[in-house]
């Protein structure tokens, strides 16, 4: 009990620090567990693709329209950063925006905004390619680990950029980027996307070996190609980019969020029969196979998956890896699922550090999860869970704690849900429409 109180106190101190530092409103969820869920839920546009397509509009002075944009905090911050640089943003409807970047009048990214969004790093590629300079604050660490940007910086140097750093900012400049062969030391999603955006206006040919293959990379390359770029091989580990002098405007519709889709599929397996609509099952092949092996009952359609409450789950070990492997962003929901499975499963997180710390919260709720080392835990199940006062540590752990509260006996209070809002739009409304008892409270 002592360690529970310490964890709660420490997490709330961290929350208080964020509230004071970033001057933002804080909310909590109050959830009454054990409600049976049923119905349909529609998956929104992919956060991590929208966060690249929007900066990719900077590469041209002609307007670009981006639709199916999710209404989440991270996207709003990215739009605010670009507006601060001078981009004119027209909201056409609730999920469609037109970006006119012909009015950009500065190249220094606002530090207070960039600190709220690690993905602001993806502004470097397009800003550098278009304007020959960009100043961006050091990203620093985050709750899910150190998350360095050395791959990005090394790639920009290879492309001919000069990088100077002062206490707060990197100042990156070039007269014109020149194509190069780039082999990062690890597969990096935003690293690959940044290189593609920088190289498409560089002189000559760039080849990226060991590129990330995520659907976000493919859609980014398709969007740029539709505007005149020459990018071949996106979706494979070797991508070739032949630089062009300019890009035109264009339209793009953000692909469905495979992480949101996978999360709702696990939700159905845990607490109801749910038709998860507007997804692309091909983006989730390994995940769906693992769920089938664990005993989750599903019916696969072209753009939807019907998932059925699956009480007879089998322990299934899982290792996260780069796409098309099991996504790290679904590791926490899968670990929760394994707390309800018969037997012992090993969860091995290979992509991001610090992504297993939330398992302490699940243990507080009644799970039996033993840490082996910073990257692996053993989950013994099934164990009943009980409602508690808990704190969301990050987006993906946060959604797992929301789902844990939905299957727990009694009431849970989850603080710091602003982090969950960064990845899942209107979550409380959507869960309520499935029959969940979930209320959002402002706490400051």
The separation between CA 149 and the C-alpha centre of its own chain, rounded to angstroms, equals 17
Q: Which stretch binds ligand EPU (CB under 6 A): 5-13, 30-38, 149-157, 250-258?
A: 149-157
Q: Which stretch binds ligand EPU (CB under 6 A): 32-40, 144-152, 222-230, 232-240?
A: 144-152
Using alpha carbons, select from 131, 103, 132, 134 the residue that is nearest to residue 121: 134
DSSP β-ladder status, 205-208 and 181-182: parallel
Under the binding rule (CB under 6 A), the answer on residue 396 touching ligand EPU is yes
Binding mask 311-340 for ligand EPU (x = CB under 6 A): -----------------xx-----------
Q: At closest approach, how far in Å is the CB of 328 from ligand EPU? A: 5
Under the binding rule (CB under 6 A), the answer on residue 191 touching ligand EPU is yes
Nearer Cβ to ligand EPU, position 336 or 395?
395
Kindly report whether the peptide bond that precedes residue 324 is cis, defined as omega within 30 degrees of 0: yes
| Count of residues of this chain found to bind ligand EPU when the rule CB under 6 A is applied | 22
The answer to whether 175 touches 148, Cβ cutoff 8 Å, is no
Q: Which stretch binds ligand EPU (CB under 6 A): 29-37, 186-194, 361-369, 409-417?
A: 186-194
- Contacting ligand EPU (CB under 6 A), which of 36, 90, 112, 148? 148
The answer to whether 98 touches 57, Cβ cutoff 8 Å, is no
Q: Which stretch binds ligand EPU (CB under 6 A): 187-195, 247-255, 265-273, 286-294?
A: 187-195
CA distance 248 to 62: 6
Q: What DSSP letter does each residue of 172-241 carry, written as one string? A: EE-SS-B--EE--SS--HHHHHHHHHHHTTSBSEEEESS----HHHHHHHHHHHHTT-EEE-BTBS-EEE
Q: At closest approach, how far in Å is the CB of 145 from ligand EPU? A: 6
Q: At closest approach, how far in Å is the CB of 19 from ligand EPU? A: 21
Under the binding rule (CB under 6 A), the answer on residue 189 touching ligand EPU is yes
For residue 142, indicate whether it is catalytic.
yes
Residue 272 backbone dihedrals phi, psi, to 5 degrees: 165, 175
Q: Is the dihedral of CA 329, 307, 368, 362 positive or negative?
A: positive
Using alpha carbons, select from 304, 333, 251, 213 the residue that is nearest to residue 53: 251
Under the binding rule (CB under 6 A), the answer on residue 73 touching ligand EPU is no
- Contacting ligand EPU (CB under 6 A), which of 58, 59, 128, 149? 149
Residues between 47 and 66 that touch ligand EPU (CB under 6 A)? 47-48, 51
Q: At closest approach, how far in Å is the CB of 72 from ligand EPU? A: 10
CA distance 229 to 226: 7
Alpha-helical runs (H) found in 57-208:
73-85, 111-114, 124-131, 150-158, 189-199
Under the binding rule (CB under 6 A), the answer on residue 120 touching ligand EPU is no
Nearer Cβ to ligand EPU, position 89 or 143?
143
Residues paired with 368 in a beta bridge: 380
Q: At closest approach, how far in Å is the CB of 383 from ligand EPU? A: 26
Q: At closest approach, how far in Å is the CB of 16 from ligand EPU? A: 23
Nearer Cβ to ligand EPU, position 235 or 410?
235
Q: Using CB atoms within 10 Å of the CB of residue 230, give its burial: 0 to 12 exposed, 13 to 18 middle, 19+ buried.
A: middle
Instruction: Name the residues that contact ligand EPU, by CB under 6 A.
Output: 47-48, 51, 119, 147-152, 186, 188-191, 328-329, 351-352, 395-396, 423
Positions marked catalytic = 142
């Amino acid at each position: 009990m002592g360690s529970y109180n310490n964890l709660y106190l420490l997490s709330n101190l961290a929350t208080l620090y964020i509230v004071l530092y970033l001057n933002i409103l804080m909310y909590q969820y109050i959830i009454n567990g054990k409600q049976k869920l049923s119905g349909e839920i529609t998956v929104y546009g992919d956060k991590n693709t929208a966060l690249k397509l929007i900066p990719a509009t900077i590469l041209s002075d002609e307007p670009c329209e981006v639709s199916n944009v999710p209404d989440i905090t991270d996207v709003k911050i990215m739009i605010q950063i670009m507006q601060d640089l001078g981009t004119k943003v027209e909201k056409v409807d609730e999920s469609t925006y037109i970006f006119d970047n012909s009015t950009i009048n500065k190249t220094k990214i606002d530090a207070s905004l960039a600190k709220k969004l690690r993905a602001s790093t993806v502004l470097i590629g397009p800003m550098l390619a278009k304007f020959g300079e960009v100043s961006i604050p050091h990203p620093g660490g985050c709750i899910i680990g150190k998350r360095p940007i050395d791959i990005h910086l090394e790639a920009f140097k290879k492309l001919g950029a000069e990088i100077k750093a002062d206490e707060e900012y990197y100042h990156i400049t070039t007269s014109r980027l020149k194509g190069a062969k780039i082999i990062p030391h690890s597969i990096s999603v935003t690293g690959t996307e940044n290189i593609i955006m920088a190289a498409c206006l560089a002189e000559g040919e760039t080849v990226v070996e060991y590129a990330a293959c995520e659907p976000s990379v493919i859609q980014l390359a398709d969007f740029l190609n539709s505007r005149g770029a020459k990018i071949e091989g996106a979706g494979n580990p070797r991508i070739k980019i032949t630089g062009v002098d300019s890009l035109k405007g264009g339209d793009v519709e953000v692909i469905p969020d495979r992480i949101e889709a996978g999360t709702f599929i696990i939700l159905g397996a845990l607490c109801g029969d749910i038709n998860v609509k507007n997804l692309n099952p091909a983006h989730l092949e390994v995940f769906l196979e693992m769920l089938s092996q664990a005993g989750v009952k599903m019916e696969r359609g072209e753009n939807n998956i019907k998932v059925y409450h699956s009480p007879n789950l089998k322990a299934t070990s899982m290792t996260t890896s780069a796409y098309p492997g099991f996504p790290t962003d679904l590791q926490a929901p899968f670990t929760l699922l394994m707390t309800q499975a018969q037997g012992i499963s090993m969860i091995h997180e290979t992509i991001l550090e610090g992504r297993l710390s939330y398992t302490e919260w699940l243990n507080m709720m009644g799970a039996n999860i033993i840490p082996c080392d910073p990257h692996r835990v053993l989950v013994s199940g099934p164990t009943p869970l009980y409602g508690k006062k808990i704190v969301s540590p990050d987006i993906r752990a946060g959604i797992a704690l929301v789902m844990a509260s939905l299957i727990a006996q009694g009431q849970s209070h989850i603080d710091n849900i602003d982090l969950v809002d960064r990845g899942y739009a209107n979550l409380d409304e959507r869960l309520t429409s499935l029959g969940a008892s979930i209320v959002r409270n402002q706490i400051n």
